[in-house]
Copies of this chain bind each other. A is one copy, B any other.
């Protein structure tokens, strides 16, 4: 369903509109009027004839004109009936403000299910329930009940779309933005996400010309595969930044008691977020700071950062932060170098980061900056200032502001560090729409998040989820673990080389084996083979083999049986596996195997749409890559072979949807290639 009418309604009905100033129904109509909404407003109230000066109707059925959007703020038990009425009137777009649904009780959950059904049947866009509403600043429509400070806005741009799963964070962000140069194109409070969720909005913003940055606060990502698809598509066009709460057990349990939502596996979420190409925000500070950075006109053809400062200490801290965030310092061109030198006292060291010295008056800043900005390769400039004895904060701010106006496509940001002596200067910077950060490290962090997003864009492809077609569950599983030999067969089907594995049930099954061999007992009672002493290494001959089998005869009931494998040794053991996440699909994992797997727990994770490029990147991130590439002067192993193996493994994970978990441990690596020695498949 298109969201065009949802976002650009020509008429809005408010069910539950009220003259009582303490009620949400009043706040809604007050906000809508204050936002100078140009369409029709229909207050709906059973008793009142006039609300906030507008004539009211007793129900939407009584409204003559066409209603594009309905906003409901009535007690939960009445909502379903009103949605039905909307369906009858062919109204497709609804915002349900009311709380009292799945977040409170099983009864509420039932009501929410009914709403979902109605939406599905009638193809309706429903936002909420249990939300703050929606703002579209492009067509001047505030359909929230957020408390806003009216008439205080000095925003010049409305270019950020903000999507929040928390009403409280939404309120705080709106309030915070109201006295800063941060403007929202759209503000959406998701509430319980019964029908519309973040992904529907991400899809909408792809082609929206009014939005330069999409920011979302999320507690639950229920449809991870759809999320990766939507965000990766959007992120290729414009930056998307996500603050995902509930990263820890404690946070996740706080989220659960707060919204009833499951935070999900934090590793799966992080892997999915990375795949989506979103800027991953760690905390609220980063969320607010990033919003201050993104301007309409930015070009930024490189990731070099230039720093100008009158303060040595902060310059050092800034240089540290730039390094730690993988940004590069640009070098001055010969011409720029010369021009800057002319602006500084003799013998000053001219290099980036540039120290214009503690006694720098405003015009020294101005001249150095002017020289720097004239350089066509300079795009991002961070200017630091601390109030020293001869510093001229206001004049410096004014001159920076004027320069910034000359170069609207360059990113010019400041960190004026201090308190009272800088308050006027900070106002001047704000007047010129220059983002000023309290501390230089925060400026660098925001810059890094944006520049690194841009840098990674070239490798970002759109995630495509697989079809959700159900496959028949493979039978012959012990409880949930798939039979050992069948597990190997499954790997072979995807061209993953496995050790030659033969079931040994009778003595004659041992015929023709090449010794030494390994014997293993496999089956429902031998899920943990090491603990059960079910592995016999280096078995020298048939006699020895049979003696072991005889000794364990009593345990060979149910589906337990012996298998024989050749005794192989490898230079390196890896672990390769995946676990299917309910939201993000299979999360693939590769790491050092054997005993080191448990000790280091250092694995690389990826989602299931691995191609050769991303498989190679995954291996390169792993610490064992050094061995593969040939540590200590050794020749390299078959890295390309491993890449193909991973791609095939990913395909297995995508296609065999009946498999919940799969571990190959160890995957043996040596000069001849790769061999899966042991495998465990949970269906």
Contact = CB atoms under 8 A, between A and B. Distances in A.
Contacts of A167: 312-313, 358, 388
A297 interface: no
B320 A257 contact: no
A401 interface: no
B172 A386 contact: yes
B595 A177 contact: no
A320 B246 contact: yes
B149 A421 contact: yes
Contact of A254 (B315, B389, B595, B599): B315
Interface string A30-54: 0000000000000000000000000
Contacts of A313: 164-169, 217, 219, 245, 258
B420 A149 contact: yes
Given A420-B179, A439-B285, A388 B168 contact: yes
A351 interface: yes
Given A283-B439, A323-B250, A420-B149, A311 B166 contact: yes
Contacts of A175: 386-387, 418-422
Interface string A629-651: 00111000000000000000000
Contact of A283 (B152, B310, B317, B631): B317
Nearest to A321: B283
Interface size on A, as a range, is 35 or more
A171 B598 CA distance: 51
Contact of A251 (B169, B176, B317, B390): B317
Contacts of A321: 283
A347 B341 CA distance: 70
Contact of A595 (B180, B632, B633): B632
A171 B387 CA distance: 6
A418 B249 CA distance: 27
Nearest to A419: B176
A413 to B, nearest CB: 16
A417 B317 contact: no
Contact of A626 (B253, B323, B329, B598): B598
Contacts of A251: 316-317, 319-320, 323
B311 A530 contact: no
A85 interface: no
A273 to B, nearest CB: 15
A146 interface: yes
A531 B310 CA distance: 50
A354 to B, nearest CB: 10
Interface in A420-454: 420-422, 438-442
A344 to B, nearest CB: 14
A313 B283 CA distance: 11
Given A250-B319, A387-B172, A442 B285 contact: yes
B169 A311 contact: yes
A316 B219 contact: yes
A445 to B, nearest CB: 9
B595 A596 contact: no
A389 B317 contact: no
A385 to B, nearest CB: 9
Interface string A12-32: 000000000010100100000
Nearest to A167: B358
Given A251-B316, A313-B165, A595 B631 contact: yes
A9 interface: no
A176 B27 CA distance: 39
A304 to B, nearest CB: 13
A386 B323 CA distance: 35
A552 interface: no
A223 to B, nearest CB: 20
Nearest to A103: B312
Interface in A313-354: 313-324, 329, 349, 351, 353
Q: Which 4 A-B pairs have the closest CB atoms?
A: A166-B313, A168-B311, A251-B320, A175-B418
Interface of A: 22, 24, 27, 145-147, 149, 152, 164-169, 171-172, 175-180, 217, 219, 243, 245-255, 257-259, 283-285, 288, 310-324, 329, 349, 351, 353, 355, 358, 386-391, 417-422, 438-442, 530-531, 595-596, 598-600, 602, 623-624, 626-627, 631-633
23 contacts: A146-B388, A168-B386, A169-B386, A175-B420, A176-B417, A177-B419, A178-B419, A250-B323, A251-B316, A251-B320, A253-B319, A254-B312, A254-B319, A255-B316, A257-B351, A257-B355, A258-B313, A285-B285, A288-B439, A530-B633, A531-B632, A598-B626, A600-B623
Given A171-B386, A254-B353, A531-B632, 9 more contacts: A172-B386, A219-B313, A243-B317, A245-B317, A247-B320, A248-B320, A284-B317, A530-B632, A600-B602
